[in-house]
Amino acid sequence: MSETLALDSSKKSSASNSSGWLAKERTIADAKFNRWLVPPAALAIHLCIGMAYGFSVFWLPMTKLLGEAPATCQNQSWMAELMTTECNWTVPMVSLTFTLFIFMLGVSAALWGGWLEHAGPRKSGFIAAMCWGGGMVLGGIGVMMHQLWLVWLGCGILGGVGQGLGYITPVSTLIKWFPDRRGMATGMAIMGYGGGAMIGAPIAVALMKHFEASGQSVAYTLIAMGLLYFVIMTMGAFGFRTAPSGWAPEGWSPDAAKSKAMVTSNHVHLSRAWKTPQFWLIWCVLCLNVSAGIGVIGMASPMLQDIFGPLLVGASSVESITAGQKAAIAAAAAGLVGLISLFNSLGRFFWASVSDWIGRKNTYYTFFALGIALYCLMPTLGHMGAAGLFVLTVCVILSMYGGGFATVPAYLADIFGTQMVGAIHGRLLTAWSAAGIIGPVLISNLREAQLNAGVPKNLVYDHTMYILAGLLAVGFVCNMLIKPVDEKHFMDEEELAREQALTQKAKVTAEDAMTAARGSFGARGVIAWLAVGVPFSIGVWIALGKAMALFSH
């Protein structure tokens, strides 16, 4: 008997050791943990992968790696351009990296969202760190060797997988920790993705300047930032703790959620969720909101220069603008880009928090109704020469663009329950991949067609804005059609118990669940929030500093 007990003990010990530090059962919170330590861990990951929005700082330097003398590739096949070391790359060739990692973000989130629910946030966060950080390092090596295919493979494909896993890693965890404030919690984390470029882009510019003498400034910068991001994201991944099954915030009751028609206390399995009309309606809602927002992001800076250029510097016409005034206009446009980043980031937290009060459906009604009015107003503001109101309009639109990303995880949790919300969110992010293709293609083709038809440069944006408003009108209708899920799609008690056993292997008693995570905030909490708050605040300060160029004339 003693030998049997010893053997059982040995097996348990072996199983425990084999599970390792990345296992989900090692992340279940104890009584000393405070739930407000989870958002900084999420922000640490999102602030790193949010550098995706700042990658444009690399495009021009990447086109001059071989100096000014070699011309860009001429009369070469597409495959030859990927491997040539004899001529410089073009901006369209290198900027395709962005399209690749946004596409891979949606694909990887869809493919591995279900796995993530079972593996837990620590393991998925660590793998995201290896893919995003390692992808940048591999991309840096590709730049050093002047092999564009290696840049695409590293930053684009491998980095895109890191983007997808890193983006959805905190969602399910945060929603289960904050059932009373789902929107605020996810908005807080996803705010980091919108603000990552405000921190990362200035760091990249500074590093490229620092490494300029080496002749490999872009390569060394990518490698250095990849290593830095790996360390920060790993710290974030190991900072995650999961809420025990049955845990609830003190004083909060699930009955409060049950009283809202659009909020379910049941759960839908991933295998059925994506087959429901509700999933595809929310998919369309996100895709249309993002497509329209990308249109404004892509056009805001050239619109400001084409329409308001002379007014910004007090010139009477485009022809009378001096070289110094052209530089001032370019600085003003850069200031608008800084403001766009700021409102894209802060809008995620603001609108997601608002959705906790007015509901997700009403929040999207606001996005679409207000968006339609503002998009239709923009051409009029251009004709009036109201540059200040134009900038304000763009900022509000971009806050709703970011808000759409941050509100949708809570919308999914309301409709499909929290058990598999991370996996369902992963599938839904394919809408982002689609919008990343639809938006830019639609806008560029419309602009080109109008220019070819002889439409003046300062008027080509009018019809485009009305078409984008039309996309939002379709989104409004899709949102209106979203109803609660039919009861036949919900998991029964046996299926739910089986899924919970897969997602949380350690057994937790009801009493343990209710007493878990009652720890104080303490010095650990202060340090964790300062670690993400200080860099974010510096990024905001830099963005505001750039924006001052808009108001200096």
Q: Residue 89 has what DSSP assignment?
A: P
Average pLDDT (182-200) is: 90
Dihedral pair phi/psi, residue 242, rounded to 5°: -100, 145
The CATH number of the structural domain formed by 26-67+80-248+281-505+513-551 is 1.20.1250.20
Give the predicted TM-score (pTM) of the model: 0.86
Residues 442, 146: Cα–Cα separation, whole Å: 32
Distance between CA atoms of 361 and 346, rounded to whole angstroms?
20
For position 203, what pLDDT does the model report? 92
Binned at pLDDT 50, 70 and 90, residue 386 comes out as: confident
Confidence category of residue 439, pLDDT binned at 50, 70, 90: confident
Q: What is the C-alpha to C-alpha distance for residues 37 and 41, in angstroms, rounded to an integer?
A: 7
The closest of 2, 93, 40 to 536, measured between CA atoms, is 40
Confidence at residue 408, expressed as pLDDT on a 0 to 100 scale: 96
Neighbours of 448 (CB within 10 A): 11
| pLDDT of res. 305 | 65
> What is the chain's Cα-based Rg?
25
* Percentage above 90 pLDDT, the chain: 44
Report whether 515 contacts 31 (CB < 8 A).
Answer: yes
| Rounded distance between C-alpha atoms, residue 225 and residue 454, angstroms | 45
- Single out the residue of 270, 59, 300, 101 nearest to residue 193, CA to CA: 101
Structure confidence at residue 124 as a pLDDT band (50, 70, 90): very high
> What pLDDT is attached to residue 502?
64
- For residue 451, the model assigns a pLDDT of 77
The SS3 call for residue 73 is coil
User: Which pLDDT belongs to residue 454?
Assistant: 81
